[in-house]
Amino acid sequence: MSEPSLPRREVAEPARTARAPAPRVDSPLPPFLWTAVVLALVGGFALGGSLFLHQTAWRFPASQAHGHVQVFGWAGLLVLGVGLHFLPRLRGARLVAPGLVPWVLGLYASGLVVRLVAQPLAAFLPAVWPLLPLSGALEIAGAALAVGMLVATGRRGRPLRDATGLLPVLPYLVLAFTSLLVALVLNLAGLLVVGAPAPGALWQPLVPAPWDPLLVHLGLIGFLVPISLAMSVRTFPLYLRVKVPSTPALRATFAALLAGLVLRLAALAGGPLVLDALGRLLEGAALVAAAAVIDVPLLRTRAAVLAAAQARAIQHGGAPRPVLPPASDWRAADGLLRSAYAWLVAAAALLLVGAALSLAGAPAPPLDAERHALGAGFITLLIFGMGARLLPGFQGREHLVSARLVWATFWLGNAAALLRVGPLLWPWLLVLGGAPPTPPPAPVLALSGLLDAIAVAAFGWNLWQSYHTARR
């Protein structure tokens, strides 16, 4: 695959109004985007932060519902929406049966809303427990419909061997959507295992182990991480001016990620602990390799790409074009993308340290820290950064309305991730030093949820204004 040419935004056209807007592109994404933002605000970050301040009977069911909505709602809805817009174009074919898109959103989002309401409510009103498996069935129906549409679309267009932009990331896409469907099947199975409350028995509406750990790990490492890496491979050479990753390196990274995922799933299903340690080792190595192959956040190849573009311009008889600094919102978006990958490397470090300590018989870092380094750090910041760079183009715009709001998401999102992961690691470090275990400070964790909720609100409002301005 050839290197991308120098983008127009890096030549002498700094004014935002110097260029006529591009034609608006009809996209299935916006309803998925607004639904994801609302779910993140109501049942995601705000609910997650408040749980640390209330020790009530519904805390644990609400916490489980919160985690499910974060992985499969806030991030999952955006993946489905972007996938239905972006992947057909990557394949070079029109989306099959676009009239079914509202059904995808209606079924999938309805399942998430029912889960968010019914699981905490069941702690007080056990009679509502049948709504829990109903929520799981609705989610499966919506996801299966979306994946079926994408598979049918993938069977159209030019021969697959000619889809040079798709082939390097195809294994990541297949793993991601397969993991999504398997995770949602496990979710339904776990909700059925909860069962009806027995008279006079202590009953909690919680998906038990191994169902919940399996589906959460599949949702993060099997679904969200591969799809995020695939999108990065296709877009970062254009946005961050890094080289297009080599296909053999991508395949080796994928093999390590898949092997680590399988080993850790086997351990979570009841296998020996050595499988978990080996799985952490392979997953951690795969995440470090992904950051190196995609070249973020170090950006080692950026200067080489820019120099090559200037050399091509001279070779074709042109003069070297001045490279101007990008606009403020793009600088903030680039910072979000780089910091997202810094959090991916941090999650990889936790995995590698955990593997070494587990093999040595010492306590590994808490699983919650690994999950939030990926979820609150890598995934959320990547959404913010891609939202500022990728989503305006879906509506014929180059920029979002407010650069200040993009900077707000950068600072708030990174602060929230730091306050969510750091307090989880401090008690673990004390235990390693021989101190008795202590709980992480609840007010700091609650503050993390508040900051992320404000960041999501700023992100959503900025996109809402930009979207409706483009439609005028």
pLDDT surpassing 70 at residue 201: no
pLDDT surpassing 90 at residue 96: yes
**pLDDT interval class at 60 (50, 70, 90):** confident
pLDDT > 90: what percent of the chain?
A: 57
Span 321-338, pLDDT tens digits: 555 566 888 889 999 999
Domains of the chain: 336-467 (1.20.120)
Segment 242-252 shows an average pLDDT of: 93
Cα torsion for 386, 388, 389, 394, to the nearest 10°? 90
Span 417-437, pLDDT tens digits: 999 999 999 989 988 888 888
Beta strand ranges found along 28-72 (DSSP E): none
Residue where the block lists tokens 């950026």: 302
CA nearest to 380, candidates 453, 446, 434:
453
Residues 6+ apart with CB under 8 A from 461: 405
452 burial level (CB within 10 Å; 0-12, 13-18, 19+): buried
Give one DSSP letter per residue of 168-230, joined into a string.
GGHHHHHHHHHHHHHHHHHHHHHHHHH-PPPTTS-----PPTTHHHHHHHIIIIIIIHHHHHH
pLDDT surpassing 80 at residue 309: no
389 burial level (CB within 10 Å; 0-12, 13-18, 19+): buried
Task: Please tell me the pTM assigned to this model.
Answer: 0.89
pLDDT surpassing 90 at residue 269: yes
CA nearest to 371, candidates 180, 206, 215, 231:
215
